[in-house]
Amino acid sequence: MRVAESNEAACDPWDNQAAEALVSLETIAPLRYRSRFGDGNLNGRSYGGQILGQAMMAATLSAPEDRPAAMLQLLFLRGADPGRRITFDPEVLQVGKHSPPAMSSAARTADEPCSARRPRSARHSRARGTQYRLRRRRIPKACPI
């Protein structure tokens, strides 16, 4: 994900009514999406929940419909200007028998990357009846140095 440069188009005004519009994305190329609306918080920065929803939307749009999300993790390195568009570049990390995780990369500028990962394999496997067990690990009482 990257924030648009100052010479690129600004975000469209939001009508403050259709909340689903805040996470809608414009397709600008295969596996490349751009935010349409920006909504600032009280500090004048982009609302983190909106960016999180947009990152999930970008990852969802890059995956087959039968592979729903099970988790999303996002790290905010800096606040973003709600008036500037954000470009999301999701990529499929693995293709195989189980549902692949997808990742949306983001940056304010080319040299400030961050990422949002969407692993989907656990939920997909559970739908097929796979059982999961937690194993306890033995912790040594004393560790020799």
Domain contains 138: no
CATH number of the domain residue 116 falls in:
3.10.129.10
DSSP-derived 3-state class of residue 123: helix
Q: Does this model's pTM top 0.85?
A: no
Domain contains 48: yes
Q: How many CB atoms lie within 10 A of CB 89?
A: 19
Domain contains 29: yes
Q: How many domains does the chain have?
A: 1
- Summarised one tens digit per residue, pLDDT across range 64-105 is 787 777 777 777 778 888 888 989 888 776 665 555 555 555
Domain contains 136: no
Residue-range definition of the domain harbouring residue 92: 2-6+19-125
- Summarised one tens digit per residue, pLDDT across range 13-31 is 788 888 888 899 999 999 8
Tokens of 33: 């999406």
Domain contains 60: yes
Q: What is the CA radius of gyration of the chain?
A: 19
